[in-house]
Amino acid sequence: MDSKDRQIIRALQANARMTNQDLAAAVNLSPSPCLRRLRNLEDSGVIRGYSVDVDARAYGLPMTVFIRIRLERHTGSHIQEFEARIRAIDEVLECHLMTGPADYLLRVVVAGLDHYEDFIRNRIHAIGGIASIDTSIVYGTVKKTGVFPALPS
């Protein structure tokens, strides 16, 4: 991947709905080579898909929480079970394996505090093998972007 491919990626991260003509103009290529590069990025798996950035509040999920989870045991079977169960929970938008005091960091969206309580009691506690759960509720967002920074030259 070269700097032109990265320009294409950044332009698409900012606006994935742009036409190939607009994309080519944005990255200083003619349309045909731009489309060829785009197809190569898709075929190689660098571009894994396209999605829509939806306002969670307008959708009906106004509460975002970050949950740090520490497991009781770190054997292969316990980790596999936990991760499989987390993957099956729709409210969990992201789950990251972490260094530090928590094993996992989850980004979760729910309709409100009552729904969050239900989520913890009936979805997370039901997994078992969890030593601790620490929650931070988001009350404002300063910055959210899906555009990667440009790499230094």
Q: What class is the 3-43 domain? A: mainly alpha
| pLDDT score, position 34 | 98
Domain with CATH 1.10.10.10 in the chain: 3-43
pLDDT tens per residue, range 86-128: 999 999 999 999 999 999 999 999 999 999 999 999 999 999 8
Cα–Cα distance, 103 to 150 (Å, whole number): 30
Would you state the pLDDT for residue 153?
76
Sort 38 into a burial class: Cβ within 10 Å, 0-12 / 13-18 / 19+: buried
pLDDT at residue 145 is higher than 90: yes
State the average pLDDT for the chain. 96
When pLDDT is averaged across residues 33-57 and rounded to a whole number, the result is 96
Distance CA 83, CA 66 (A): 16
* 130-137 average pLDDT score: 98
Sheet containing 92-97, strands listed edge to edge, beginning at the edge strand earlier in sequence: 92-97, 104-110, 63-71, 130-137
- Helices 3-14 and 31-43 cross at an angle (nearest 10°) of 90
CATH number of 56-137: 3.30.70.920
pLDDT in tens, 15-27: 999 999 999 999 9
